């Protein structure tokens, strides 16, 4: 594992009835770009029903360093990246993402 790992986090909200559809769309567009970007260490897409007819969708991606993030995101890595179809789904569309330095990690996805 690299010395510095960067977590990139984006969240938005969609109508709950379209959450699975949008998550699939994100996986086929933005996440496909993430996966093929040099310096990407992995990703996750998560959904959280907010109970008001909307669902929060969050993407997490891990990167070797901020240079790798810039290669993926461009000159303004803190700005969220969107596709034109996103406007069809998103109820809230934040302008910015978060970047965090991962200082500790230990996880395993095991089925029991």
Is 5-102 a domain of CATH 3.40.1350.10?
Answer: no
Rounded Cα distance, 96 and 8, in Å: 11
Residues forming a β-bridge with 13: 56, 92
The whole-number average pLDDT for the span 12-39 is: 91
Q: Report CA-CA distances (Å) from 38 to 18, 35, 70, 105.
A: 31, 8, 11, 21
User: What was the pLDDT predicted at 109?
Assistant: 54
Split at pLDDT 50, 70, 90, the class of 107 is low
For residues 109 and 20, which has the higher predicted lDDT (pLDDT)? 20
- Report the SS3 class of residue 86: helix
């Amino acid at each position: 594992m690299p010395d510095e790992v960067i977590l990139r986090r984006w969240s938005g909200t969609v109508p709950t009835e379209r959450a699975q559809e949008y998550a699939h769309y994100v996986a086929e567009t933005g996440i496909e770009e993430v996966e093929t970007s040099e310096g990407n260490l992995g990703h996750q897409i998560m959904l959280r029903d907010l109970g008001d007819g909307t669902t929060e969708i969050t993407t997490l991606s891990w990167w070797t360093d901020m240079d790798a993030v810039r290669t993926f995101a461009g000159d303004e890595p803190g700005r969220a990246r969107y596709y034109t179809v996103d406007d069809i789904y998103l109820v809230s569309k934040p302008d910015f993402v978060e970047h965090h330095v991962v200082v500790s990690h230990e996880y395993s996805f095991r089925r029991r």
